[in-house]
Homo-oligomer: A and B are copies of this chain.
């Protein structure tokens, strides 16, 4: 049950990082949506490693193949299956790691859970699995744009100690985000972030960061009152992304230090209806969208794989030194941007469909 996400607009994914292929089935996408590979490949390219000097140099072409669900550029209402072959496998890079569980990786817990694990790479725990999320999320995003004019933009808000970025959530665009390789629309900050990543790389170390995401154009009314609150589904979606450690909606942890009279968002007349003067709620009140931009933040830890030698123990408990040889990012947050967007899109598409049943 771990491999399916969503209720009505749902994805089911498969694939180990070094197995034959990765893929995703998107079930529940409404029929007659115009859709081409190009609608998806753009986001896949943004997720891909090897995009520049800041990320790993693994060459994953990640070229999408549609297996079902489409004809003449329109969805049929049937499951849309997409796949990519794993081409650039270098299993030798992981030789030896089977005896030593990598610190803060899933090797140890995977063995505890299943009693077996893929012989090389992280198996299902690898970030390579997020290819399937981005592919599925891009379809959700297309449908949301097509039906409701919803737009989703994420960016890097901080890297390590550098940040937060100053960004206008009402107007920021993906073009502004992609203007820098680090994907931070605050350009002065972006340069400092890049320096920080390069310094970590030079030290064979890694750095974490925060991604912020805004979803604009939602009508009021999406989200369910109790367990499937919009923020609950978003939080669950985001914390299912590898390497995440935290989630905030609207005011987040900072909001806990405010008084109610400061924090409350006063209603004002807006257009044909009501809006709020401030948006500390982050676009959701009682779990249901209020028509204001949905604003969320996701914390990514520094990648666990580092070149620096690490003093740890092997599976038998004997002390050993681990030196990673795989190709890995010193900083994943730029590549996490489209993943966060994908998960947000999947949640919103699901809630939009549920709202049609009210």
Contacts and interface: CB of A to CB of B under 8 A. Distances in A.
A69 B13 CA distance: 11
A221 to B, nearest CB: 4
A356 B113 CA distance: 10
Contacts of A14: 25, 67-69, 78-81
A257 B209 CA distance: 7
A25 B3 CA distance: 9
A250 B210 CA distance: 15
Contact of A256 (B210, B233, B287, B317): B210
Contacts of A301: 251, 255-256, 258, 260, 263, 280
Contacts of A53: none
Contacts of A66: 20
A216 interface: no
Interface residues of A, number: 153
B12 A358 contact: no
Interface string A242-267: 10111111111101111111111111
A50 interface: no
Nearest to A222: B113
A253 B245 contact: yes
Contact of A313 (B74, B77, B114, B267): B267
Given A113-B222, A259-B302, 12 more contacts: A1-B8, A3-B79, A15-B79, A76-B114, A101-B274, A109-B286, A112-B221, A125-B225, A210-B253, A245-B255, A247-B247, A260-B308
